[in-house]
């Protein structure tokens, strides 16, 4: 969760004099800030396989594998000779959990440890051996060591160690290949210049490749003689507004400010612009003389940072929400398929033209996605860009279309978007490209409007179940919708998603503003 409320930040930035609007996403083929030092397109981000997720999977695989080896050896060596009394499962679990705990304490589950097998192998041997010695000592002290087969104990030690070594060798090969492709890099933009930025970059370089940091360039709002074209060998790619455009086209995972805390006005203005991006934002402690307790900082290698913003969803949260969307979405698709078939027949039989209507909308990080809807307008009057707001007596809407729009049945084909990963079940609703409130484009009505795109859009959302669905003919209605969307992003949880899904059918009964 973000350390700073986005809505409070935008208000503070406005009071501080932030007048530069956040630039809209670039169209295909447009160019903005200059090219990064590594001009080749970066690999796509892999939300399903971050370093944290990889470490968790390795930890789980090693724990499960060692348990299987212990029980498998008992079955192979002692089946029919020595019963699987509680003492054997107790020993297997004790050795396995002790070993995994020691591996964790010695840093064997860091991304650098996955890549460098020789150093990690020594730690694995030491941890596995120490775990056995600890359990063996407990057996001797409890006077139960004679109850265990020596052949089984030796076999468990040897087979477990061999499995660990073979598994880590394969893992090291996999990680090296992925890191050579930049999969696990944290692509980092530096905001600010001068000696402080050079000092920070030098400290990040000193941390070595183990930090996983890959600097993509420097962005600085200063345009006077203090702002040079390069900082520590990295080019200045523009100002903070250029950074927003750059991050729309290129993968950026982390933004680090080198400005001192005393530059409050500048920081607030920049944060107001950057708050629309799904990136981590940190303030370098190198830039201030303020010294807090070590626990107050996060670290890149030995570089202390103050957390400002975190991605709304990262690591296991991405996997949890992704699996939830696909499993529940597929279940809903099966359950609602008779309804969808009935709507499709009604649309097809009552007006000529295709059953489905495809519309370009803004998705995660303002990427263009194509969403599906049941067609609710006459074919020759469909408005793909939603340049004109649908009103209560809109002649473009068919009789069947009027019903399915009021009941939101026209949205059901978006379950296909959920299954293929364009949408979530729950999230801010994706708005059409030319959607307007009071004849003004949405992003020009509400400050920080694009902050609602820091997560995938959804079929339903917190704004919808609170009555802010349908027509947005005034700026106040859009403001309220965005406020609810930001509240959802800042407070996301699976239980929150379940609450919204459970409440959605009741919310659909209120059709006052749904045309």
* Per-residue pLDDT tens digits for 239-275: 888 898 898 888 888 998 887 766 777 888 888 888 8
Residue 37, pLDDT > 50, answer no
Average pLDDT, integer, range 395-405: 85
Residue 36, pLDDT > 60, answer no
Residue 30, pLDDT > 80, answer no
Closest Cα partner for 98 from 135, 48, 51, 136?
Answer: 135
Choosing from 159, 180, 201, the residue where a domain stops is 180
Least confident of 9-18, 153-162, 316-325, 445-454: 9-18
**280: which 2 tokens?**
């981590």
How confident is the model over 446-502, as pLDDT tens digits?
777 788 888 999 999 998 888 877 666 677 878 888 889 999 999 999 999 999 999
State the pLDDT at residue 313: 87
What are the backbone angles phi and psi of residue 316, rounded to the nearest 5°? -70, -25
**313 contacts 323 by C-beta, under 8 angstroms:** no
Residues 361 and 473 in one domain: yes
Quote the DSSP letter at residue 432: B
512 belongs to a structural domain: no
Residues 31 and 56 in one domain: no
For strands 254-257 and 186-191, give the pairing: parallel
Look at the chain and report how many structural domains it folds into. 3
Q: Please, where are the H alpha helices in 25-149?
A: 51-73, 87-105, 111-115, 117-141
Residue 26, pLDDT > 50, answer no
Angle at which helices 6-16 and 264-274 cross, to 10°? 130
Least confident of 181-195, 203-217, 349-363: 203-217
Residue 319, pLDDT > 70, answer yes
1 belongs to a structural domain: no
The better pLDDT of the pair 101, 139 is held by: 101
Q: Report the CATH number that the domain containing residue 198 is assigned in CATH.
A: 3.40.50.720
Residues 268 and 127 in one domain: no
State the pLDDT at residue 436: 60
Q: How many CB atoms lie within 10 A of CB 101?
A: 12
Residues 238 and 381 in one domain: no
166 belongs to a structural domain: yes
**How far is the C-alpha of 31 from the C-alpha of 474, rounded, in Å?**
34
- pLDDT band at residue 339, thresholds of 50, 70 and 90? very high
Residues 322 and 415 in one domain: yes
**436 contacts 387 by C-beta, under 8 angstroms:** yes
Residues 155 and 220 in one domain: no
State the pLDDT at residue 122: 94
Domain of residue 380, residue span: 316-507
Residues 37 and 120 in one domain: no
Closest Cα partner for 189 from 234, 223, 227, 249?
Answer: 234
Choosing from 309, 337, 359, the residue where a domain stops is 309
Instruction: Output the average pLDDT for the chain.
Output: 81
Average pLDDT, integer, range 127-153: 90
- pLDDT band at residue 289, thresholds of 50, 70 and 90? low
Residues 321 and 406 in one domain: yes
- Sequence-separated (6 or more) residues with CB below 8 Å from residue 421: 322, 326
Please, what sign has the CA dihedral across residues 166, 168, 170, 176?
Answer: negative
Residues 446 and 463 in one domain: yes
278 belongs to a structural domain: yes
Q: Please, where are the H alpha helices in 264-353?
A: 264-274, 316-350
State the pLDDT at residue 320: 92
Please state, in angstroms and as integers, the Cα–Cα distance from residue 188 to each residue in 183, 237, 471, following that order: 14, 13, 40
State the pLDDT at residue 164: 96
The better pLDDT of the pair 87, 162 is held by: 162
- Sequence-separated (6 or more) residues with CB below 8 Å from residue 229: 235, 236
- Sequence-separated (6 or more) residues with CB below 8 Å from residue 254: 186, 187, 188, 189, 213, 279, 280, 281, 282
- Out of 74-83, 276-285, 334-343, give the one with best mean pLDDT: 334-343
Please state, in angstroms and as integers, the Cα–Cα distance from residue 251 to each residue in 29, 185, 215, 244, 404, following that order: 17, 10, 11, 11, 39
Q: How many CB atoms lie within 10 A of CB 183?
A: 18
Residues 63 and 27 in one domain: no
Residue 197, pLDDT > 90, answer no
Closest Cα partner for 201 from 149, 281, 256, 160?
Answer: 256
Residue 413, pLDDT > 50, answer yes
97 belongs to a structural domain: yes
Choosing from 254, 279, 309, the residue where a domain stops is 309
**214 contacts 188 by C-beta, under 8 angstroms:** yes
**How far is the C-alpha of 448 from the C-alpha of 83, rounded, in Å?**
66
State the pLDDT at residue 470: 64
State the pLDDT at residue 336: 93
301 belongs to a structural domain: yes
How confident is the model over 8-25, as pLDDT tens digits?
555 554 444 444 444 444
State the pLDDT at residue 92: 94
Please state, in angstroms and as integers, the Cα–Cα distance from residue 312 to each residue in 217, 298, 453, 486, following that order: 24, 17, 10, 10
What pTM value is reported for the model? Answer: 0.78
State the pLDDT at residue 33: 41
515 belongs to a structural domain: no
State the pLDDT at residue 24: 43
**351 contacts 379 by C-beta, under 8 angstroms:** yes
Residues 122 and 71 in one domain: yes
How confident is the model over 75-117, as pLDDT tens digits?
998 887 888 888 899 999 999 999 999 999 999 998 889 988 8
80 belongs to a structural domain: yes
Residues 100 and 207 in one domain: no
């Amino acid at each position: 969760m973000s350390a700073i409320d986005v809505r409070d930040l935008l208000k503070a930035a406005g009071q501080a004099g932030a007048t530069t609007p956040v630039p809209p996403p670039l169209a295909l083929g447009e160019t903005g800030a200059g090219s990064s030092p590594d001009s080749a397109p970066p690999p796509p981000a892999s939300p399903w396989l971050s370093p944290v997720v990889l470490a968790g999977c390795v930890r789980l695989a090693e724990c499960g594998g060692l348990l299987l080896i212990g029980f498998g050896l008992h079955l192979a060596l002692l089946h029919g000779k020595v019963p699987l009394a509680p003492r054997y499962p107790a020993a297997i679990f004790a050795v396995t959990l002790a070993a995994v705990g020691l591996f964790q304490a010695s840093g064997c589950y860091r991304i650098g440890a996955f890549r460098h097998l020789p150093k990690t192998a020594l730690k694995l041997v030491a941890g596995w051996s120490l775990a056995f010695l600890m359990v063996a000592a407990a057996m001797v002290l409890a006077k139960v060591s004679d109850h265990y087969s020596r052949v089984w104990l030796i076999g468990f030690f040897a087979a477990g160690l061999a499995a660990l070594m073979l598994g880590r060798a394969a893992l090291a090969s996999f990680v090296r290949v992925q890191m050579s492709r930049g999969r696990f890099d944290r692509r980092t933009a530096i905001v600010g210049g001068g000696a402080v930025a050079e000092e920070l970059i030098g400290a990040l370089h000193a941390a070595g490749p183990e930090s996983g940091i890959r600097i993509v360039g420097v962005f600085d709002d200063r345009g006077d003689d203090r702002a040079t074209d390069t900082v520590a060998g990295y080019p200045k790619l523009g100002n903070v507004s250029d950074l927003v455009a750059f991050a729309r086209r290129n993968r950026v995972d982390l933004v680090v400010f080198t400005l001192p805390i005393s530059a409050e006005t500048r920081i607030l203005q920049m944060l107001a612009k950057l708050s629309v991006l799904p990136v981590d934002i940190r303030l370098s402690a190198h830039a201030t003389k303020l010294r807090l307790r070590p626990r107050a900082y996060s670290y890149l290698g030995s570089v202390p940072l103050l957390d400002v913003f975190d991605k709304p969803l990262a690591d296991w949260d991405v996997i949890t929400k992704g699996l939830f969307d696909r499993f529940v979405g597929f279940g809903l698709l099966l359950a609602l398929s008779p309804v969808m078939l009935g709507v499709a027949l009604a649309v097809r039989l009552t007006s000529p033209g295709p059953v489905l209507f495809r519309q370009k909308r803004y998705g995660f990080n303002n990427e263009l996605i194509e969403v599906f809807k049941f067609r609710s307008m006459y074919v020759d009057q469909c408005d793909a860009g939603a340049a004109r707001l649908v009103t209560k007596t809109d002649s473009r809407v068919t009789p069947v279309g009027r019903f399915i729009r009021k009941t939101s049945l026209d949205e059901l084909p978006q379950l296909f978007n959920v299954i293929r990963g364009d949408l979530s079940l729950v999230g801010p609703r994706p708005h059409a490209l030319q959607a307007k409130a009071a004849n003004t484009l949405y992003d020009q009505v509400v400050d920080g409007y694009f902050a609602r795109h820091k997560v995938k859009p959804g079929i339903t959302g917190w704004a919808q179940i609170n009555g802010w669905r349908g027509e947005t003919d005034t700026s106040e209605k859009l403001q309220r919708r965005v406020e609810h969307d930001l509240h959802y992003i800042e407070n996301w949880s699976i239980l929150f998603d379940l609450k919204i899904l459970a409440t959605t059918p009741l919310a659909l009964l209120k059709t006052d503003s749904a045309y």
